[in-house]
Amino acid sequence: MTYCVGIKLDAGLVFLSDSRTNAGLDQISTFRKMMVYEKPADRFMVLLSAGNLSISQSVREILQVEQIDNGKGAPITIWNATSMFDAVRVLGSAVRRVYDQDGASLKEAGIDFNASMIFGGQIAGEAMRMFLVYSAGNFIEATRETCYFQVGESKYGKPVLDRMITPQTPLDEASKCALVSMDSTLKSNLTVGLPLDLLVYENNSLQSEQMVCIDEHNPYFKMIRGTWGDKLRQVFESIEDPQWDGASGPDASALCVKSARYEPMRKITHPSEKVV
């Protein structure tokens, strides 16, 4: 399995992916799930993929040469598209092409056509955009209300993103949040694993030098893992234990309070009743 997250902010984009594709008892496999498509000073695009590895690898290769008809002459590719919307249309076409080639064979083998992708970046003359692409090749776009996407094992890392990420979040803070989200996922799910690929893109730069592969020896990520666990434990211990009777005073946060909404189901057997 995998975990990938893409975050769209006013200041730029943050992409993070793990590299585990198999976590059996006697075999652990790793493959890079981040791909960068770049034409200097013209466009910068990043693709994160989750799901069946053979499908995502095929889509990656086809995407570099895939064309769609624009009805006006030259076909559209990711290299000449004038908008990220057209570029993601090319990606959707590549996904459908792989389905046409392999879908029937996979079905006969009892394998679902399973692939989901995060695709984001910027083309010169247009604002940054980011999309979530589904197995059918259709997609949705990130908005200010929904400014991040996840694919793969998303549930473990979602709470910290929900609490911390807004469009105004600085890039460094968002990168830290993405790494905390990944650490939470690594802690709870063995199908997600190191090394990680992190890329930070600044708005209107059309390039990025902030790319790093993170393994278990990376000093910053080691600090994140230790500090996040310690701080969570400190916060947890600072919260009051439940007060069942409210006897600690009027300012105590009592757990057991009278409510007309409902009472627990209870069956009490009296001594005079015969139990069968």
pLDDT tens, 216-238? 999 999 999 999 999 999 999 99
Q: How is the chain split into domains, by residue range? A: 3-233
DSSP state letter for 243: B
User: In terms of C-beta distances under 8 Å and separation of at least 24 residues, what long-range contacts does 134-139 make, across chains too?
Assistant: 135/51, 135/95, 135/99, 136/95, 136/96, 136/99, 137/91, 137/92, 137/93, 137/94, 137/95, 137/96, 137/99, 138/92, 139/88, 139/91, 139/92
Average pLDDT for 8-19: 98
- 147, amino acid identity: C
pLDDT tens, 90-145? 999 999 999 999 999 999 999 999 999 999 999 999 999 999 999 999 999 999 99
pLDDT at 273: 65
pLDDT band at residue 255 using 50, 70 and 90 as cut-offs:
confident
CATH fold, domain 3-233, is Glutamine Phosphoribosylpyrophosphate, subunit 1, domain 1 (3.60.20)
Q: Is the pLDDT of residue 25 over 60?
A: no
Asked if 191 and 143 count as a contact pair (C-beta separation under 8 A), the reply is no
Q: Please give the mean pLDDT across all residues of the chain.
A: 92
pLDDT tens, 40-68? 999 999 999 999 999 999 999 999 999 99
Rounded to whole angstroms, the Cα distance separating 39 from 261 reads 62
Asked if 128 and 203 count as a contact pair (C-beta separation under 8 A), the reply is yes
pLDDT at 21: 82
pLDDT at 257: 74
pLDDT at 276: 59
Rounded to whole angstroms, the Cα distance separating 270 from 244 reads 26
pLDDT at 26: 66
Rounded to whole angstroms, the Cα distance separating 197 from 19 reads 8
Rounded to whole angstroms, the Cα distance separating 97 from 63 reads 10
pLDDT at 275: 58
pLDDT at 250: 62
Strand-pair category, 115-123 with 43-51: antiparallel
Rounded to whole angstroms, the Cα distance separating 66 from 23 reads 32
pLDDT band at residue 22 using 50, 70 and 90 as cut-offs:
confident
- The reply to whether omega before 242 is within 30° of 0 (cis) is no
